[in-house]
Amino acid sequence: MASFDVVLRGGHVLDPHNGTDQIADVGIRSGKIDQVGQGLDTSGATVHDATGRYVMPGHIDIHTHVSAVAERGLDRAVGFKMLAESGTTTALDLNGEPNGFADGMKRRGAGINMATVLSLVPHESIPEDDPRPSVVREVLDKALVEGAIGLKMIGGYHPFTPEATSDIIEVANSRTAWIAYHVGSKDSGSQIEGLREVPGILGGGRLHVAHVNSYTRGVINKAEDEVREAFDILQRMKGQVVTEAYLAQINGTNGFCDEDGNVVANVPRNCLQLRGYPLTEVGMRQALLDGYGFAQVEQDGRMVLVTGEEAVRIWEAAGTNASLSFPVNPASSAFTLTTEKDENGEFYIDAVSTDGGSMPRNVAIERTFALVSFGALSPLEAAHKLAWMPSRLMGLLNKGHFTPGADGDVTIVDPLSGKATMSLVDGEVIMKDGKSLANGGTWIVAPEGEATASNSGLKYEVLDLTQSRLYAGWS
């Protein structure tokens, strides 16, 4: 009998947890890491030559989009394969709806491990504009049973009062449920002013502060000054918040205008303001025609961006309620947010995300390793931010490292291009040379959702969020 089912041979193994930063083989048996070492016995095993490649624990992305509440005209489930093709092995859908999420995984899954939250949209996923705690509890309990692991507030689009926002956090904390916040309330915008408000809203609670880079775009002050202020704000909440930032230049937003022709949501208004366009339907149309704005369209089973007249046609056909993107994330902010450490040698921002999935900006791996090539991060630090720390943030204790018995989830990266060339989940290849090779996936649910997951026909895993950094603390 072979010693291993699978051997990844001769790669540069990066395992921050175990301090492995050397050329070695990785042996996998029965879907679990069995041994890391040199010259492993390959007899009878499936061998994948990783020579000249980085071999790290599978990339865990804690901010993606593969389902959505009230999405118009786009099948976000294409994001499963888009994530897999970038090298991701585990992800959190952070703008979700559990029923649609499960359906999407069945139809267009790609073999990756996925969890989802319920996005709070007034009068769609929650019945009140500023929901009372009793209403939040009812919505959350139902979402957990249906397979979500928690909630997300989308302050840049559907803001609540600061008081209601605080109540939502408190209710989620009381249920030990995941709670994420795209910052912005009815008293502030979705930029540095919204982030300034978070410590007062949070009090003694726990919170996932989503895509910190979105609040340091230079809308209020210089971008570099906003980054420094963001660090100061987050340090005041250290041990209470988990954070991520993404490295793509483009954002994702919505072009909806009201009956008077005014752009409705705070985020697209910020995008137009940054380039001096009117905050109106006229300004939005011109931004698209000028090539500043992009619309999304599905082509060959993947989402792509288009601009100019084609983007205008898509936007108008959707009655302006179309998903759009703008190149508004400064490279300087992304660099500093990803690489800077505090006085204790800990990264200010915990993880690198994509805010992608079905949005075509799944470049977390590629651009993090570009920072390695630049000398701003070590290879081991890249694996820390892409795999080890995200596993701790979510409480996925059997992922993010190559300890014997850990899940056989692996991402293999070309150090020259920074792109993932192969990834495995439970020892099975799900992506090779940028092509998705698997279907379905594993649904990660809260204990309340186990019956729903079991009845779905999908593989599933029950997550204990008391073990997550969100709730277990930072010791």
**CA 376, 382, 388, 393 torsion: positive or negative?**
positive
Q: Which phi-psi region, left, alpha or beta, contains residue 458 (left: φ > 0; alpha: ψ -120 to 50)?
A: beta
Whether the per-residue pLDDT at 58 is higher than 70: the answer is yes
Mean pLDDT of 302-329: 96
- Tell me the H-state helices in 147-265: 162-174, 192-202, 223-236
DSSP 442-463: EEEE-GGGHHHHHHHTSEEEE-
Whether the per-residue pLDDT at 474 is higher than 60: the answer is no
231 φ/ψ angles, rounded to the nearest 5 degrees: -60, -45
Mean pLDDT of 177-190: 97
Q: Residues spanned by CATH 3.20.20.140 within the chain?
A: 59-249+329-391+435-475
Minimum mean pLDDT range among 74-78, 177-181, 202-206, 248-252: 74-78
Mean pLDDT of 50-77: 88
pLDDT band of residue 70 (cuts 50, 70, 90) is very low
Minimum mean pLDDT range among 5-14, 89-98, 385-394, 409-418: 89-98
pLDDT digits (tens, 9 = 90+) for 263-305: 999 999 999 999 999 999 999 999 999 999 999 999 999 999 9
pLDDT band of residue 69 (cuts 50, 70, 90) is low
280 φ/ψ angles, rounded to the nearest 5 degrees: -140, 175
Mean pLDDT of 421-450: 98
* Residue-averaged pLDDT of the chain: 96
pLDDT band of residue 96 (cuts 50, 70, 90) is confident
What is the C-alpha separation between 210 and 241, in angstroms, rounded?
10
What is the C-alpha separation between 172 and 302, in angstroms, rounded?
34
Strands (E), 283-427: 294-299, 302-306, 323-325, 351-353, 356-357, 410-413, 420-425
Minimum mean pLDDT range among 66-75, 149-158, 264-273, 312-321: 66-75
pLDDT band of residue 307 (cuts 50, 70, 90) is very high
Q: Which of 6, 8, 112 lies closest to 53 in space, CA to CA?
A: 8
Mean pLDDT of 451-469: 97
pLDDT digits (tens, 9 = 90+) for 222-263: 999 999 999 999 999 999 999 999 999 999 999 999 999 999
450: how many CB neighbours lie within 10 A of its CB?
A: 15
**CATH fold of the domain at 59-249+329-391+435-475:** TIM Barrel (3.20.20)
| Pairing of the two strands 54-57 and 59-65 | unpaired
Q: Which of 95, 92, 6 lies closest to 43 in space, CA to CA?
A: 6
Give the pLDDT score at 71.
53
